[in-house]
Structure 1
């Protein structure tokens, strides 16, 4: 077994946190706070939110204890086992010097029979220094009121799927209360289903053959058996496929339904108020939207098509005029507009009314962004802008307000990210290799 010992020189200003969490490591300094029965994320949260200057923390996963350290030095001596990681926060720079690799004794950890007493002893010997740290603490179980999961993601686990995955959905498909992954594999003409093991890991994908070049996937119970089914837009097959769920995360072969040319985006919503979800598809190649009404047994009627703009790429279904009838909103990429098709109430729609956006709209989201209870239109335009069209309240919209963002945005989501009750805009800028966040004021 080996350890790494080095001196970390830290440069920071004000009350910023000097260094973050170190797993399987020992910071050679004075312990300020010891916490027990605590998760890794709670330890990190405490590190960031605790009052005073707490520049570092050490987490021991074996007995779920957390040590917070208090010091004002510009450098620290760190003893660290291999397979460790660091999280830096508010850190302008950090220099590692005097690295030494030596053998060391294995750390030992003991937990007493009492739930309120934890004893941790760690010993290490290195060429730079010899230290022995022992901490014994008796107290009531520490709670972390107000300390929530920080949303940090230090690890990435990858799972093999098909070729060129284009769309992903996360839904519990085998009724075990664990959300599973469903992915449309454009290049291998399959849909992959990765079942959740229950500890944040997933089984290898099960592949289901679908049509040619699946581009978009939705997962919704379409036959009222409380088992989510898969609906996939097969771009080069000119159809949508419906894979019914057998109830244990296994799906039947797809049943296909003809739609327009190059179906690009699919969504599932009950548009005729019969409590049966219907299929709505944006057809890129035929400049149409297809509506397939649900017959009630997991089968669908022949499509009804509606002419829209040129090359529709994204479709959403939301009631925009407060009549309790879901309407269709479509991003017409080569017409530089969005189309709104109002629902007449029987699953049929009026002709589209168009609103100018930026150049080449790729993705559309429908969310009330100004808190007037009227859903607004947000569009990601490939020509480096976002358009926001506020709802007048009668199913019509104001002219677009445009915001400059990164290069070539492809996808937009609208969610309150800073807990101020105002939905913010998050956009994936494909040629900037970045995600942009526009906070709502």
Structure 2
């Protein structure tokens, strides 16, 4: 079954938007449209509703109840406009008009956005990563009452990198506080900003070098080997590979497995997601390939002392 949505879809979120107990789908489209597919059940959808964004170039969306009214809202990042937008949900499958919350100073290009509870309250916080020639690669927006975000955000720099591409959040040093991990495409490094539990992160990041792999452009976190310590998986666009890094518990990592993505006809690995796809209790990895128009699946074969990934299956 095919459904017509906005042009150039870039990101997808799933949730019960109309509160009928059936999952719906939200799609960000680079042409400046948010497409909402209302679920009918059985994998089918009743209809598609398109909402114009406040600017073109939507690259990432997060579906969450940010105003505490039990209805799902959509927080969107626009690469072209270098801004953050909010579509407040009405709870019946419809949304209010988008409005721009904040515009990150140019020149910048937003690549990724995550949400989490960075300061241990009940309000959802957001972190945005962008390529930026100033010292504003990472912008942290703490949640505020009424569905608002703290403006302006607090900026953190990944300098000398000017091409940070992806971000994830995890307590990598196991001190009970959320940390931020950023992938730097141009330097082949990761920047780790340790959090203090109050929504503040260290201004000077710890650096993790990634060896000979080139062009890290997506990063996800999960406990791949079952030792209750956050691990990382990183995709590399230039060297066309996926690397797994096992956490040591103090904020450092050990590279354990590098799998070439060209085994699944991959030419431009772009986005990683971690989930237990085969129900064996271990998180697996899915990879979206921009160049080959494919999705790759890597099944994790992990124990506490050994870690590996299958060579991949493509669809």
Mapping 1:350-369, distance limit 5 Å: 350=202, 351-357=204-210, 358-369=213-224
**Take 2:289 and 2:87, find their aligned partners in 1: how far apart are those partners?**
32
1:202 and 2:45 aligned: yes
Which of structures 1 and 2 has the bigger CA Rg?
Answer: 1
- State the partner residue of 2:312: none
CA contact (8 A) 1:259 1:283 kept: no
After TM superposition, where is structure 1 displaced by more than 4 Å over at least 4 residues in a row?
429-434
Corresponding residue of 1:338: 190
Q: In 2, Cα distance between the equivalents of 1:246 and 1:436?
A: 36
Q: Deviations over 1:130-161 (max 9, x none)?
A: xxxxxxxxxxxxxxxxxxxxxxxxxxx11111
Deviations 1:313-348 (A, max 9, x none): 222122222233221112212221222111112111
1:237: how far off?
A: 1.1
> Which of 148, 152, 157 is the equivalent residue of 1:299?
148
Equivalent pair of 2:25/2:37 in contact (CA under 8 Å): yes
- 1:380 & 1:160 partners in 2: Cα distance? 30
Deviation at 1:431, TM superposition (A): 4.3
Question: Which residue number in structure 2 is paired with residue 276 of structure 1?
Answer: 123
Alignment partner, residue 85 of structure 1 = none
TM-score scaled by structure 1?
Answer: 0.61
- How big is each residue's C-alpha offset from its partner over 1:198-226, in whole Å with a ceiling of 9 and x where there is no partner? 34321332222212201001101111111
Aligned residue pairs total: 284
The 3-state SS of whatever aligns with 1:297 is: helix
Tell me: CA distance 1:199–1:437, structure 2 relative to 1, closer, same or farther (3 Å): closer
* Cα deviation digits, residues 401-428 of structure 1 (max 9, x gap): 4332223322223333444333333334
Greater RCO, CA 8 A, separation 6+: 2
Say if 1:356 and 1:399, in contact at 8 Å, map to a contact too.
no
**Correspondence 1:440 to 2:301:** yes
Residue 361 (structure 1) shift: 1.0
- Aligned match for 2:272, one of 401, 412, 418: 412
Give the counterpart of 1:389 among 234, 237, 245.
245
| CA RMSD across the alignment | 1.9
Residue in 2 aligned with 1:158? 2
Distance 1:217 1:316 in 2: 15
Q: Does 1:182 align with 2:35?
A: no
Determine the C-alpha separation between the residues in 1 that align with 2:65 and 2:290.
Answer: 32
Is the contact made by 1:340 and 1:353 (CA closer than 8 Å) also made in structure 2?
yes
Matched, 1:327 2:179: yes
Q: Give the Cα separation in 2 of the matches to 1:400 and 1:336.
A: 17
TM-score, L = length of structure 2 = 0.84
| Runs (5+) with no aligned partner, structure 2 | 303-315
* Mapping 1:7-86, distance limit 5 Å: none
